[in-house]
Structure 1
Amino acid sequence: MHSMIEQWRHVFKLDPDRELSDEALERICLSGTDAVMVGGSSGVTFDNTVDLLARIRRYEVPCVLEVSEQEALVPGFDLFLIPVVLNAGDKEWIVGRQQQAVKEYGAVMDWQYIAPEGYIILNPDSTAARVTEADTQLSVRDVEAFARMADQLFRLPIIYLEYSGTFGDMELVKRVKGLLKHARLLYGGGIDSPDKAKQAAAAAHTVVVGNLIYDDVERALATVQAVKEYV
C-alpha cells in the first residue's frame, strides 16, 4: 500500500463539495496523474463523497480518500488517508477526531489500506488553518522540527506541506524534503500554472493540484505534463 504512495509524483485533489462537469472529470482521470485524492476542508458529506467516488470509478486512476469527516467515511477507495495536523491549535485535529473514528470503526478497519498523513499548514488565511486553529507563525526551525518528528519519531509515511490558496516557500519545501528519511513529502497550494508545478516538483516528492481544476481545467491538465517532464 505504501509502495503506491512512493510512486506518486502528481496528484489531483477533488473536493466533493464543488461542482465539476463530467467532461472535466473525465479529462482529469485520463490525464496521466498518478492518483486522484478526494477531500476538502468544509462541506464534505457521505452523499457527495459517494457520488464523486462513483463518477471517478468509471476510470482506472487510483482513487484515495482524505478522511476529514467521520460521517463521510465511504468504503470503496484504494486508500484512506487520515490527516494529523501537527501544528493544529485544536487537539481535535491531532488525536481527537482520529480517536473517535477508530472508536466507531476500529474493529472493521482494514489497516493495510489506511495511512496517516502529517499535515503542516502554513497559510494562515486558508480554510484548513481556520478550521484547525493552526499555528502558522512558524520559524524554519519549527517546521524542520515538525518534519523530523513526523518522519523519525512517529514514522508517518506522508508529510503534507499545505499552503492552500497561496504558493509557498520552495526553499523551505526543499529543506524539509532533504531532512526526510522515510516519509514522502507532498506539497499543495497555489499551483496555478505548469511553471509553478515544475518548481514544486523540484522541491517536493509529490505535487498536489486542487483549486486550479475549478478555476482553469486546461491549465490544471497542463501541470501533469510539466511534472512528468521535470521528473
Structure 2
Amino acid sequence: MVEQWKHVFKLDPEKALDDASLEALCLSGTDAILVGGSSGVTYDDTVDLLARLRRYETPCALEITTLEAIVPGFDAYLVPIALNAGDPAYLVGQHVEALKRYGHLLPKDGLVAAEGYIIANPDCTAARVAGVKPVDEADIVAYARFADRLLRLPIVYLEYSGTFGDLGAAAKAKAALGNAKLFYGGGIDGGEKAAAAARVADTIVVGNVIYRSLADALDTVKAAKAAKAETA
C-alpha cells in the first residue's frame, strides 16, 4: 500500500476541519490520509477523526506520535523513528514502551511500517520535542543511507515541517536509497511546490496548507500526479 502512494494529506486530530472540507480532501484523488501531529494529539480526537474518515473509501493511516493516541481500525500504522533526535527516547525508548503496552495488539496481517525521520527544520515542534541535531546536506544523505542500508526501513521521511526545504538535498537522499521510499513533507502550499517536490520524492505529504487554504491544498493533488507522470 505505502509503496504506491504519491500524494498524501496529513491531518492533525487537534485541528478543526469541517465536514465539507474533509469530504473534499477524501474525494480529491489523494492516495491516502495520514493522521498525526507533533503535540497535543489525544485518543478521543483521533477516534473522532477516524470515524469521520471511515465514511469514505480513501485509505487512512495513523502515524503514531504518542502512546495515548493509539487507536485500532486504521488501514496502516506508521511508526516514526527520529534518526537525528538528541533525545534517545525518540530513537528507541518510546517504541519499546509502546510494544510493552500494545505489542499483543499488533495486527499480524495488517500494515505496520517504520519511518526513518530526518527532521531538517530545527525550529519546528517535532525538532524541539525530540531535541534534534541540526543537519546539512551531507548529514541528510548519510542518515538516508543509514535508514535504508543498515536499518532496512521501508520509508525515509525528510521533514521540513512548515518550511519548504532543500530539494537538492532531497534529490541526493533519494539517489542514495536502495529499497526505501523517500517521503517529503514541509512547506508545500500549492501546486507549484507540490510538483517540484513530487519530481524528487516518491511521496509528498501535504499538511499545514489544508488549514489555511483548502483550494491550494486541493491543487497539490493534480500537480503532484502530473509531475509524477512526467518523470515516469
TM-score (norm 1): 0.97
1:124 partnered with 2:122: yes
Partner residue in 2 for 1:103: 100
Secondary structure of the residue that 2:199 maps to in structure 1? Answer: helix
CA distance in 2, matches of 1:49, 1:124: 27
Question: In the TM superposition, what is the alpha-carbon distance from 1:217 to its structure 2 partner?
Answer: 0.3
1:15 partnered with 2:39: no
Of 196, 217, 220 in structure 1, the residue corresponding to residue 217 of structure 2 is 220
CA distance in 1, matches of 2:69, 2:18: 22
Which structure 1 segments of 5+ residues have no match? none
Amino acid across the alignment from 1:17: E
Question: In the TM superposition, what is the alpha-carbon distance from 1:71 to its structure 2 partner?
Answer: 1.2
CA distance in 1, matches of 2:107, 2:19: 31
Q: CA RMSD in A?
A: 0.8
CA distance in 2, matches of 1:41, 1:199: 25
Secondary structure of the residue that 1:203 maps to in structure 2? Answer: coil
CA distance in 2, matches of 1:19, 1:174: 34
Of 90, 94, 104 in structure 1, the residue corresponding to residue 91 of structure 2 is 94
Partner residue in 2 for 1:113: 111
Question: In the TM superposition, what is the alpha-carbon distance from 1:108 to its structure 2 partner?
Answer: 2.5
Corresponding residue pairs, total: 227
Q: Deviations over 1:56-81 (max 9, x none)?
A: 01000000000011111000000000
Question: In the TM superposition, what is the alpha-carbon distance from 1:22 to its structure 2 partner?
Answer: 0.3
Partner residue in 2 for 1:52: 49
Which structure 2 segments of 5+ residues have no match? none
TM-score (norm 2): 0.96
Question: In the TM superposition, what is the alpha-carbon distance from 1:105 to its structure 2 partner?
Answer: 1.1
Q: Deviations over 1:137-164 (max 9, x none)?
A: x232221111001001000000100000
Partner residue in 1 for 2:142: 145
Secondary structure of the residue that 1:185 maps to in structure 2? Answer: strand
- 107-116 vs 125-134, which moves further: 107-116
User: Where has structure 1 moved over 3 Å in runs of 4 or more?
Assistant: none
Amino acid across the alignment from 2:218: L
Percent sequence identity over matched residues? Answer: 57
Amino acid across the alignment from 1:145: A
